[in-house]
Every structure is written in C-alpha cells, then in structure tokens.
C-alpha cells in the first residue's frame, strides 16, 4: 500500500510568496505498519533465505529499523537483538523492547572503535544461529526503495521536480533516486543533512570534521556504503534549531512526525528558495511517538536550547 502525500504548501506560508512560490509536499511514512519508512527495507531484507536458518536476527539501528525488525521477528518466531547508540531517544528502546527485542546501548564513538554500535552488531552476528541483517550494506535495502518508494512518488506526484530525504544508510535516496531518474532524469534528488554531518560537505567536495547534532537517524561521520553520491544533485544542511521550528509547525497542524522530518522540510524549503515554482516532496520518515522524552518534550527542547 502506498503511503500518502500531504500538501504542506500553505502550512509553511508558501502560497503567499510572490508569483511562483512553489509547492511543498510530504510523503507520510508514518502510515507504514510500525510508523516509519524502515518497514520497507525490513520487509525486503527478511526475504533473504538465510532468515530461515537463523534463530536470532541481529541489527545495528538508529531505532526505526530496530522497531520494524522487532515486530517482524516476533511474527516470525525469531529472537531479535539490536544495537543502538546512546544518543537515540528512550522511546525507541521502549518500543523495541515492547515488541520483544533485546536492546544493547553503545557509546557514541566512531566506526573505528570496536564499541561502535555497528561493530558490536557485526560481532554478535557471527555467533552460530545468528544472522546480521546489516542494513548499512544489504543491497535489499536499496532494492526496497527502488521497487516501492520511487515508483509511488512517480505515480502520486506527476509534476515532481525534486525529492528530498535524509541519509542514514542511504537506501532511501539511492533506491528511490535511481527509480526517479530512470523515468525522468530532470528530477533532482536532494540530500537533507543535519548541520554537523559530513555527508553534505562530501557531496560538495569538502572533507570536514563531524560535529555533534541532535537530530536522529540521518547524517553521520562516515560515508554509508549504500549511498550513491552519483544519484544526488545537491545537499542542504539544516541545524537542530531550524529542524525543531519546523517540527513545531507540523505539530500545530496535527502532523506528528520525528526529528528527521524537521531536517527534510528545512532542506526542501531551502531548495524552493533556490528553485521558485518547483514542486518538491520531502520524506517524513517516522512518527513522533518515539520521541516523547526528547523532541516532543518541551523541557528537553529547552534544556538543549531548542
């Protein structure tokens, strides 16, 4: 089932800005079964025949893949172990544990450390009867978006000029981006990147040092193997304060989405400033219900200057 497209043009005040303000749409991935875009790759990755021979599924996650995998694993009768950085919201841990997963929280360290959440998952996956799903390298992640997200966008938005999404594993932008450009090479594929991530600067040919940021699930301090930079046309970086402001605007309209959606909306608005009159669709990747202690908590926002 396709996830819905919602029109955000008037909500963000675009309809009154000159003769060619542009059109801002959102693809509402909260409509997926577990409330995030990650249901798409998880369903595809679990078609792997190695699943049948494993009693335990292991994954490294920013939270949403873990939630989806925990639910799917429970339905398959599999034990699920997920590793996750301590940066992520407690609500994600709670949802994974409620679905039966074991959650291992790891320190916020780089990929060169054995304690990094990806390296911990990889090691756990080597145990007998364990299968490491490996969303960061699994080609089925890209295939899921090539086969579903991209074609849905082409069907739902006939005059699409640009698609905007963040990159965690890179599966969404690579898969959907390839599908879009095969049909219409003129569609821009835009990376929405948190300020502090190294991905946007890399696309511009700049190698920078990562800096901390609070938005979850996108950006990073390493180049995701699945992210095809050749598919990307441009990138916009959005800081945490701007992301929080956009989330407030969305929440005021009862659009309950997570932190990365503030980043994608910010990047889409920046694209529209550079391309007046364009029709842009931003991916709204997950539900706000998993951010009750953080991005949906005013005390937390105040403590972090947001």
Residue 164: strand pairing partners: 190, 282
| CATH architecture for residues 47-132 | 3-Layer(aba) Sandwich (3.40)
Predicted pLDDT at 21:
75
Predicted pLDDT at 156:
98
Predicted pLDDT at 118:
96
Predicted pLDDT at 301:
97
CATH dotted code for 5-36+139-303: 3.40.50.1100
Our answer to whether residue 38 is catalytic in this structure is: yes
Predicted pLDDT at 94:
96
Predicted pLDDT at 193:
99
Show me where the domains of the chain are located.
5-36+139-303, 47-132
Q: Which of 27, 38, 78, 92 is catalytic?
A: 38
d(CA 213, CA 194) in angstroms, rounded, equals 7
Whether the domain at 5-36+139-303 and the domain at 47-132 fall into the same CATH topology = yes
Block mean pLDDT (10 aa), the chain, length 306: 94 71 95 98 98 97 97 97 94 96 95 95 97 98 99 97 98 99 98 98 95 96 97 99 98 98 98 96 98 96 97
């Amino acid at each position: 089932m396709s996830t819905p497209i919602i029109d955000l043009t008037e909500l963000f005040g675009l309809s009154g800005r000159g003769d060619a303000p542009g059109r801002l749409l959102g693809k509402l991935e909260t409509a997926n079964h577990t409330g995030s875009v990650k249901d798409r790759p998880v369903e595809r990755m679990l078609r792997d025949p190695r699943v049948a021979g494993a009693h335990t599924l292991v994954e490294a996650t920013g939270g949403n893949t873990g939630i989806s995998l925990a639910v799917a694993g429970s339905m398959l009768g599999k034990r699920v172990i997920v590793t996750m950085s301590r940066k992520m919201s407690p609500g994600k841990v709670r949802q994974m544990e409620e679905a039966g997963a074991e959650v291992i929280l790891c320190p916020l360290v780089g990929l060169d450390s054995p304690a990094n959440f990806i390296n911990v998952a990889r090691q756990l996956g080597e145990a007998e009867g364990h299968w490491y799903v490996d969303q960061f390298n699994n080609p089925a992640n890209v295939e899921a978006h090539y086969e579903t997200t991209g074609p849905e966008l082409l069907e739902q938005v006939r005059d699409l000029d640009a698609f905007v999404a963040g990159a965690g594993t890179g599966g969404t932008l690579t898969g959907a981006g390839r599908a879009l450009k095969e049909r219409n090479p003129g569609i821009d594929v835009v990376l929405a990147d948190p300020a502090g991530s190294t991905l946007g600067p890399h696309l511009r040919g700049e190698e920078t040092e990562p800096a901390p940021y609070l938005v979850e699930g996108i950006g990073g301090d390493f180049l995701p193997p699945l992210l095809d930079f050749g598919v990307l046309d441009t990138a916009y970086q959005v800081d945490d304060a701007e992301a929080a402001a956009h989330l407030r605007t969305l929440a005021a309209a009862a659009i309950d989405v997570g932190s990365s959606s503030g980043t994608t909306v910010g990047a889409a608005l920046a694209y529209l400033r550079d391309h007046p009159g364009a029709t842009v669709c931003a991916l709204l990747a997950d539900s706000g219900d998993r951010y009750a202690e953080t991005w949906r908590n005013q005390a937390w926002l105040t403590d972090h200057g947001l």
